[in-house]
Amino acid sequence: MFEGYEHERDPDFASERVGEARDRARASYARMTVEELVPIAIHNVLEVGRQLGAADGRKRAKLVAETFPNLGRAQYLAAYMDLEFVRSLDAAIDKRPFLRRTLVITERAARDYPKSAVIASFHAKLLFVLGEYHAAEMECRRALEMKEPDDPQNDCIPVGSISGDNRGTRLVSLACEFHELINKILMLASDYWDSMSSERQRNSFLQVRLDVLQDEYLKVDRSYVFTMSDVRSFVKEHKSWRFWVCPLCDRKKFMDTGLLLSHMCSRHPRAVLPRLQSVLDQKLSDEALESDDSLDGVTFCEDSEQKDMMICLNKSSEVFKWLFYAPSSGVRPKPFPEIREKKCEKGRMLLESIKDKMKTLPTDRSTTEFAKAIPEIQEGWHKFLKSSALDYREAILELARSYLWRELKRCMTKDPELASKSISAADIDAIFTKEVVNPASNAVESCQTEGGLMVSGNRQESNVHDRGDSSENLRKNTESPDPTISAVHTDTDLAAKVESEVHAEHESSDSPDEKTNPKLGDNNKESGVQLEGGETSEATVPGAELSGQPTNQEEGGSDLDTKLEKLQIGPS
């Protein structure tokens, strides 16, 4: 009669069923906490702040943070209300020392919840207000490089303040904020540079010691394949910074393009047809290369006092303008072997193109087809020489740019006049207050129009879903399923609300886990926003891929060009 039900009397089976039920209950409670309890608590804290004052709101926020120690949003609330309290202080009081306390709370939250783009945005803005410009930019870069960032909808305060049809669109809105803040740092640096005396500019930024550049290179490559002493010896011996290597065998350096061509035709006749030597005018190519030396603003010099060898930068050249125009791209120095390999790869592609043209070149030099093809082949060869040339100054400039950009921000932070300047509520509002826009239209359009979000060509066609209980905050919350809810008590009787909901049966449909999560700064997924070049992806989180030109949401590109001209680093 009871055949088939024996397993229900098995103690192990019963224990397993009880464990599964507990897991479901914990997961259900975790979802309820994230989706209902914490949003209610946040709403009540904000109401207390409005009605009773920021000091009371700050106390209630601290209670919420203690009640939900495993939720980033609750920890962010403590920092948010602490900032509100600082804002509310008397106008005559300098807010700087109080903001330092807010920064401690924020740094802890950013460290504990590294995938929260919302907390990263708050952190970066706070660093900017305090004048910590390098740290602010690094936090923006970190956020833009996040892989699988949390949905801003689960972290934003007030609840629903970051709108959007889906997670991808909401991440776009935050990406624009990070680019805008980087732009502000760039513009401040421009003004600061303009305020420097010529002597300080020359002593601090127009001369860089060789050992400093070597240390900068060792940060990206510790193999010592590139040393400043070798560069100096090479320039001294050959009276040139530039050389070529054969992209097909990469065996030795060539100072003469004719010898390079002869080597390739004799050693690699299948890749470079020997006939190429007879149709090229090497004189034209050499003249074109000499007239196109855009890096002539880099030279060696000697410190008159300490007798140290240095790299000197010509302030009137395009080189120095590039140094301060490019930091917004976020491009970091690369190991010299990587630079060399990329040059060789580009060279091989161009040689293949020349080979294809040579195959169809008539043997009769008197034909119109021959006359028409020769300029194209000549242009292809010139392009090959220009693209595959290895110039030590390019590597040096990347190192100098990284170092000088960091030094300029450090000077701004440590400037006694700027550091002693009091911070007002207006200074805080200028960074933290923003107009509420639809990220799928206004914010995205503005950000992309100004170059703020350059869409990478590496698009991945995958739908973006809400992450449900796959988020890190949710996972952290399940570790502590029974926080002391009664600690969060406001005039609207949150405790009673919580008590009733905890004991009520709570059903929630699980959204599927995301197999592919958008990277805030790099990978492009679907997000229903307009992409660059008129393309539309149904749900593509634009890669906030930083281009060589500065990004600006608030100020147009023409304003930025004006600022850059004020640097007095353009051609004189």
How much is the pLDDT for 275? 92
Q: What is the mean pLDDT of residues 43-54?
A: 95
* Res 532 pLDDT > 80: no
CA distance 41 to 36: 9
Residues 473 and 538 in one domain: yes
* Res 504 pLDDT > 60: no
Q: Where do runs of H (alpha helix) occur along 33-130?
A: 38-52, 54-67, 72-87, 96-112, 117-129
- Which two structure tokens, joined as six digits, stand for 277? 């030597």
- Check: CB of residue 392 under 8 Å from CB of residue 235: yes
Look at residue 301 and tell me if it is in a domain.
Answer: yes
CA distance 168 to 446: 17
**E strands within 147-306?**
207-209, 242-245, 253-254, 298-302
The residue segments making up the domain with residue 331 are 202-415
How much is the pLDDT for 130? 97
* Sheet strands side by side (includes 309-313): 207-209, 309-313, 298-302
Residues 395 and 445 in one domain: no
- Check: CB of residue 42 under 8 Å from CB of residue 162: no
Residue 519, sorted as left (phi over 0), alpha (psi -120 to 50) or beta, turns out to be: beta
CA distance 188 to 180: 12
pLDDT band at 469 (very low <50, low <70, confident <90, very high): very low
Q: Which residue has the higher pLDDT, 452 or 98?
A: 98
CA distance 398 to 331: 9
End-to-end CA distance of the chain: 101
How much is the pLDDT for 402? 85
Residues 182 and 233 in one domain: no
Q: 21-35 pLDDT, tens per residue?
A: 888 888 887 788 888
Q: What is the mean pLDDT of residues 464-470?
A: 38
CA distance 351 to 377: 10
Q: 258-273 pLDDT, tens per residue?
A: 999 999 999 999 999 9
Look at residue 429 and tell me if it is in a domain.
Answer: yes
Which of 415, 434, 464 is the last residue in one of the domains?
A: 415
How much is the pLDDT for 25? 84
Q: 83-123 pLDDT, tens per residue?
A: 999 999 999 999 999 999 999 999 999 999 999 999 999 99
Residue in the structure block whose two tokens are 């034209």: 284
Which of 415, 446, 466 is the last residue in one of the domains?
A: 415
Look at residue 5 and tell me if it is in a domain.
Answer: no
CA distance 50 to 54: 7
* 3-state SS, residue 116: coil
Q: 164-201 pLDDT, tens per residue?
A: 899 999 999 999 999 999 999 989 988 898 888 888 88
Q: 119-141 pLDDT, tens per residue?
A: 999 999 999 999 999 999 999 99
pLDDT band at 453 (very low <50, low <70, confident <90, very high): very low
Residues 175 and 218 in one domain: no
What phi, psi does 176 have (nearest 5°)?
-60, -40
* Res 522 pLDDT > 60: no
Share of the chain above pLDDT 90, in %: 48
Look at residue 571 and tell me if it is in a domain.
Answer: no
Among the ranges given (60-74, 324-338, 467-481), the one the predictor scored with the smallest mean pLDDT: 467-481
Look at residue 7 and tell me if it is in a domain.
Answer: no
**Taking each helix axis from N to C terminus, what angle separates 38-52 and 72-87, rounded to the nearest 10 degrees?**
10
Reference 520, options 182, 184, 72, 173; nearest CA is 173
CA distance 138 to 66: 29
What phi, psi does 208 have (nearest 5°)?
-130, 125
Q: What is the CA radius of gyration of the chain?
A: 30
- Which two structure tokens, joined as six digits, stand for 570? 């353009």
Residues 467 and 406 in one domain: no
Among the ranges given (75-79, 191-195, 282-286, 499-503), the one the predictor scored with the smallest mean pLDDT: 499-503
Residues 377 and 500 in one domain: no
Which of 374, 389, 415 is the last residue in one of the domains?
A: 415
CA 64 to chain centre: 32
Please spell the DSSP secondary structure of 240-294, one letter per residue.
-SEEEE-TTT--SEES-HHHHHHHHHHH-TTTS-TTHHHH--HHHHHHHHHTT-T
How much is the pLDDT for 328? 56
Positive or negative CA dihedral for 186, 191, 192, 198?
positive
pLDDT band at 53 (very low <50, low <70, confident <90, very high): very high
Residues 377 and 280 in one domain: yes
Q: How many domains does the chain have?
A: 2
- Check: CB of residue 95 under 8 Å from CB of residue 424: yes
How much is the pLDDT for 281? 85
Residues 255 and 397 in one domain: yes
Q: What is the mean pLDDT of residues 439-468?
A: 37
How much is the pLDDT for 290? 74
Residues 480 and 508 in one domain: yes
How much is the pLDDT for 277? 92
Q: Which residues pair with 208 in a beta bridge?
A: 311
Q: What is the mean pLDDT of residues 528-554?
A: 37
Q: Which residue has the higher pLDDT, 246 or 198?
A: 246
DSSP for residue 333: P
Residues 254 and 386 in one domain: yes
How much is the pLDDT for 41? 94
Residues 230 and 212 in one domain: yes
Positive or negative CA dihedral for 30, 31, 36, 41?
positive
- Check: CB of residue 182 under 8 Å from CB of residue 328: yes
Look at residue 9 and tell me if it is in a domain.
Answer: no
CA 344 to chain centre: 28
Q: What is the mean pLDDT of residues 521-526?
A: 44
Q: What is the mean pLDDT of residues 442-457?
A: 38
* Res 226 pLDDT > 80: yes
* 3-state SS, residue 309: strand
